[in-house]
Amino acid sequence: MNTFDKVSPEYKDKSLVQKNAAGRLLELLKIQKGESVIDVACGPGHITAQIAGMTSGRVAGTDVSEGMIGQARKLYPGIEFVTVAVEDMGFEAEFDAAFCNSALQWFTKPDNAMAAIYRCLKKGGRLGLACPATSNWTPFFDSLVSRVKERAGIKEIFSHWKNPWFHLAQKADYERFFAKAGFRQERLEIIYEQNDYSVDDAYGIWLSGAANGFLGKQYYDAVISDDYIAGFNSAVREEMQKGSQGGKVKVDFNRLYFIGVK
């Protein structure tokens, strides 16, 4: 089972920061009427459907998670969705634009993934990509986990966790990464984003994103139980509640926005 299969039914409602990033990325990508667009790592398809409302051209969504694609097909039956890992996409010069939001950090073969995205674009096609970036990509959640992982009953088990995310240290590293894939850079910026959320919403953001990395069973070199996962999540929520002010917490990210041309 893919890490995101289990959260696919609730992802659309809980992925609030991902939605915010998608909105900004769509503004930057400037999809034109009649353009064909591929939504790479599309999740349950809600942004793919938004894209489909912006163009009369072909729109397709891909994701490695069968659960996410199942949700997308159920919610948006008129849109083309394919279950496939990014690096295994077989499209060849078929799209005017590629949209990829909040996914690069999850790619296990990032160079191969970028090569596949490059191949799927027509000459002159554009890639719009956004993701948490740099080594300090999520200060809020990193701070929470740094406290939770020291708790009794968690510390020893967490020592078996292996970081699953792809990140580069600095902006220049990302510039070289995209150039290596063949893209001519039109825009690359890393922005510090901070927003206030209720504890409930912040916890939903945790479950829709970071929790899948910190608590994915495949990211431990020891067997972890459902009780451990539940206890860890409960501790995260407790730490959020303790750190809240007026029922709000500040969730922040360092986020990269990239526009490149083939």
Residue 17's pLDDT is what?
Answer: 64
Domain extent, residue 165, equals 8-261
Residue 182 lies in a domain: yes
Amino acid 4: pLDDT: 55
Is residue 174 assigned to a domain? yes
The beta strands (E) that lie in 181-241 are given as: 184-198
Distance CA 117, CA 21 (A): 20
Residue matched to tokens 């990508």? 29
pLDDT digits (tens, 9 = 90+) for 209-251: 899 999 999 999 999 999 999 999 999 999 999 999 999 999 9
pLDDT digits (tens, 9 = 90+) for 123-155: 999 999 999 999 888 899 999 999 999 999 999
167 within domain boundaries: yes
Of the candidate ranges 3-12, 34-43, 180-189, 203-212, the one whose mean pLDDT is the lowest: 3-12
Which tokens go with 215? Answer: 């608590």
Within a domain: residue 146?
A: yes
Q: What is the pLDDT of residue 2?
A: 52
Proportion of the chain above pLDDT 90, given as a percent: 88
| Max CA pair span of the chain | 57
- Residue 95's beta-bridge partner residues? 121
In what side-by-side order are the strands of the sheet with 80-83?
Answer: 80-83, 59-63, 37-40, 95-101, 121-132, 248-261, 184-198
Number of domains in the chain: 1
Specify if 3 maps to a domain. no
Phi and psi at 192, nearest 5°, equal -85, 120
Q: pLDDT (tens digit, 9 = 90+) per residue, 59-74?
A: 999 999 999 999 999 9
Q: What is the CATH number of the domain that holds 207?
A: 3.40.50.150
Residue 53 lies in a domain: yes
Residue 22 lies in a domain: yes
Write down the pLDDT at residue 209: 87
2 domain-assigned: no
- Tell me, what's the pLDDT at 18? 72
* Amino acid in the structure at residue 21: A
Asked if the model's pLDDT at residue 8 lies above 60, the reply is no
18-74 pLDDT per residue, tens: 778 899 999 999 999 999 999 999 999 999 999 999 999 999 999 999 999 999 999
Dihedral angle, C-alpha 196, 230, 212, 166, nearest 10 °: 90
CA atoms within 13 A on the CB side of 3: 20
Amino acid at 38: I
